[in-house]
Chains A and B, each alone.
Chain A
Amino acid sequence: EAGVTQFPSHSVIEKGQTVTLRCDPISGHDNLYWYRRVMGKEIKFLLHFVKESKQDESGMPNNRFLAERTGGTYSTLKVQPAELEDSGVYFCASSQDKFGQGASNEQFFGPGTRLTVL
C-alpha cells in the first residue's frame, strides 16, 4: 500500500511568487491534514479536510494560503503571494476513521515539502 506522497519535495521561489504544493493521501483515507514546521519551531496544524469539506481551518496563517481537496482525493495548498516567513516544511497527513475512534486514529505523514522563499 502506497503511503502519503507529497510533491514537490523541495521548492525555492522568490518573494511574491506563487507556489502550489500537492498531497496524495493513502487511498481510502477521508481525513487529510496540512501541517507546517518553520525552522527550529514546532510542527503546527494548518487545516483538516474530511473528504472534500474543510472541517477545521483554524491554523491557516492568512488569506494568502488556499487549500483545496476537489473530489475528496488529493489536496493542494497554494501560497499566493509567498512571503519570506512562509519558508518551512509543509507536511501532509491522512487518517482513516476506524469505527468512530476519532482523535485516536493514527495519522500517516508524508515526507514533507521544503519551501524556501528568497
Chain B
Amino acid sequence: AQSVTQLGSHVSVSEGALVLLRCNYSSSVPPYLFWYVQYPNQGLQLLLKYTSAATLVKGINGFEAEFKKSETSFHLTKPSAHMSDAAEYFCAVSDSDFGNEKLTFGTGTRLTIIP
C-alpha cells in the first residue's frame, strides 16, 4: 500500500526566506509523486509532478521538488517566499501501474508567510 507523510502541519517562514516543505513516501512500485496547493476557497491546483523523467522537477510559481529514491523523499522548495505563497500544500502519490490513478494524499502543510 502506498502512503505519504508530510512532516509539519504548519510551517511559517519570513517573506524572502527559503520555503522547505517535507514529504516522504512509501510505495511498492515506482511512484508518481505530486504536490498540490490549495488557496482559500479554491480547489487543489497542481504545482508539479514527478513521473520518472527527471529527479528535479520544476513547477509553477517558482517551486521545485527533488525525487530522492534513497531517502524516499520528495521535498518541495522555493528559494524566496512571497506573501502570495500562503496556502495549504499537499503531497500525493499514485502507483505507476497503468490505470491505477487514485491519489493518496498526505495530511497537508499550511504555509504562513511572515511579512
Binding site for B on A (CB under 8 A): 3-4, 31, 33, 35, 40-45, 48, 55-56, 59, 91, 93, 95, 100, 102-112
Chain B residues in 8 Å Cβ range of A112 = 43
B43–A103 touching, CB < 8 Å: no
Shortest Cβ gap from A36 to chain B (Å): 11
Select which of A31, A105, A111 is within 8 A of B42 by beta carbon: A111
B98–A102 touching, CB < 8 Å: yes
Chain B residues in 8 Å Cβ range of A35 = 103, 105
A110–B96 touching, CB < 8 Å: no
Binding site for A on B (CB under 8 A): 4, 32, 36, 41-46, 49, 51, 90, 92, 94-108
Chain B residues in 8 Å Cβ range of A4 = 43
A45–B44 touching, CB < 8 Å: no
Select which of B36, B43, B106 is within 8 A of A42 by beta carbon: B106
Chain B residues in 8 Å Cβ range of A44 = 105
Chain B residues in 8 Å Cβ range of A106 = 46, 49
5 additional A-B pairs beyond A44-B105, A48-B101, beta carbons within 8 Å, are A3-B43, A33-B101, A35-B103, A43-B103, A43-B108
Provide the bound-state CA to CA distance between A48 and B103, in Å. 10
Chain A residues in 8 Å Cβ range of B43 = 3-4, 91, 108-112
Provide the bound-state CA to CA distance between A48 and B101, in Å. 9
In the complex with contacts A3-B43, A109-B43, A111-B43, A103-B101 CB distance below 8 A:
yes
